[in-house]
Amino acid sequence: MPFQMHFGENDLLRCRFALSPLWETQEAVRTLARPHRHGYHLPWLRRVREAARTLDLEPLWLLMPDGGYNPDFFCPPPLNPLVTFEEEIAGVRAVDPEVARADMALALAERPGHLESATGRRLLADPAGAVELLTGLLERAWQVLVAPYWPRLRALLEADIAHHSRRLAESGLERLLSEVSPRLGWNGSTLTLTGTHGDHERTLGGAGLVLMPSVFVWPDVMSGSDEPWQPAVIYPARGIGGLWAEADERTPESLARLLGRARADVLCALDEPAGTSALAHRLGLAASSVSAHLSVLREAGLLTSRRYGHQVLYERTPLGMALAASG
């Protein structure tokens, strides 16, 4: 069933990309409970398994029906493209408890058993306490499930935004949306997302649209939000197939002998554009060493670089791609 968003002229001027550490946190929580999402993330699941057992995620899971309405208040679209988790969670903590209560009631009503459960009744009876409980759980989930891997995740998300921003400039919004996901279709002034739970329509009315890549949303595409939040489409980021691969799984031995192990690892880690700090975190190398290797690889014609936001992103040239695939 479709989710339809009707655009006006002003909405087309207010489409933007953003990434959200809070969104990745709630999607990480969902992924723990949804086996169909585990495929690409098995290495991550093994790493967080023991720590995840220390989290009491039942209240969050109760508000996350698979395929149904999910509350907007604890993960609204970010107001700027480089927002921090601390900024986002402060906004959630400040939400009007009555707004939160109405949002929770809609999610719990997706499954009547949840609405009548002890936890569900407790959340609705004390919405201010529920907001504090849920923000505390999200903070702890961020610390345990996402923050240790955030440089790696952020690099992939920023690379996706850089790629799709370039495609937007090259081919326009209609072509871009079909590339983001085959479930997105554009007809006249209406964006349709198919395969959703129930029919839903929203006239954007000048609010525009936020396009958000996500690591943990794969293989789903999600859309929201109801007013007063800005509408958003959340789609799987490019390159997640190699997200959790380690350097020794990427680098051909012949290339390591040619370039040296560390430099070859840097080249092969760039399946998607990334910055110095993200590569250093991923490879377990000092940032100064990675910076030196990147400079040499760029001077040799194996990489190009461009500035995105607060950092410089590096990506392989055709020659660099050929060498990285040489094994």
- C-alpha torsion sign, points 178, 225, 104, 126: positive
Please give the average per-residue pLDDT across 234-238, as a whole number.
88
Assess whether 212 and 280 both reside in one domain.
no
pLDDT in tens, 202-220: 887 888 888 899 999 888 8
Assess whether 265 and 208 both reside in one domain.
no
pLDDT at 35: 85
Assess whether 149 and 296 both reside in one domain.
no
Domain boundary among 204, 236, 268: 236
pLDDT in tens, 242-298: 778 765 567 788 888 888 888 988 888 887 788 888 788 778 788 888 899 999 999
pLDDT in tens, 159-215: 888 888 888 888 787 788 878 888 888 887 888 887 666 667 788 788 888 889 999
Domain boundary among 203, 236, 269: 236
Q: How many CA atoms lie within 13 A of 154 on its CB side?
A: 25
Assess whether 68 and 106 both reside in one domain.
yes
pLDDT at 296: 92
Residue 239 contacts residue 152 (beta carbons within 8 Å): no
Please give the average per-residue pLDDT across 313-327, as a whole number.
81
- Looking up residue 299, the CATH number of its domain turns out to be 1.10.10.10
Assess whether 223 and 265 both reside in one domain.
no
Please give the average per-residue pLDDT across 54-70, as a whole number.
83
pLDDT-derived band of residue 62, with 50, 70 and 90 as boundaries?
A: confident
Please give the average per-residue pLDDT across 135-150, as a whole number.
93
Residue 35, φ and ψ in degrees, nearest 5: -55, -30
What is the rounded CA–CA span in Å between residue 213 and residue 17?
A: 8
Assess whether 213 and 251 both reside in one domain.
no
Q: Are strands 209-214 and 303-308 parallel, antiparallel or unpaired?
A: unpaired
Assess whether 215 and 286 both reside in one domain.
no
Assess whether 199 and 296 both reside in one domain.
no
pLDDT at 145: 94
pLDDT at 311: 73
Assess whether 191 and 286 both reside in one domain.
no
Number of structural domains the chain divides into:
2
Assess whether 67 and 206 both reside in one domain.
yes
pLDDT in tens, 87-118: 999 989 999 999 999 888 888 887 777 777 88
What range does the domain containing 129 cover? 3-236
pLDDT in tens, 14-46: 888 888 999 999 999 999 988 888 888 888 999
Q: Are strands 303-308 and 311-316 parallel, antiparallel or unpaired?
A: antiparallel
Assess whether 50 and 181 both reside in one domain.
yes
Both structure tokens of 181: 């996901």
Please give the average per-residue pLDDT across 73-100, as a whole number.
87
Confidence (pTM):
0.76
Among candidate residues 19, 25, 75, the one with its CA nearest the CA of residue 308: 19
Cis check: omega of the bond before 214, within 30 degrees of 0: no
Rg, C-alpha atoms of the chain: 21
Domain boundary among 236, 271, 305: 236
* DSSP secondary structure, 19-59, as one string: --HHHHHHHHHHHHH-GGG-GGGHHHHHHHHHHHTT---HH
pLDDT-derived band of residue 223, with 50, 70 and 90 as boundaries?
A: confident
Length of the chain: 327
Share of the chain above pLDDT 70, in %: 94
Assess whether 226 and 79 both reside in one domain.
yes
pLDDT at 143: 94
Among candidate residues 3, 2, 5, 4, the one with its CA nearest the CA of residue 206: 5
Query: Residue 77 contacts by C-beta under 8 Å, 6 or more apart in sequence?
Result: 18, 20, 210, 212, 225, 229, 230, 231, 232
What is the rounded CA–CA span in Å between residue 75 and residue 62?
A: 15
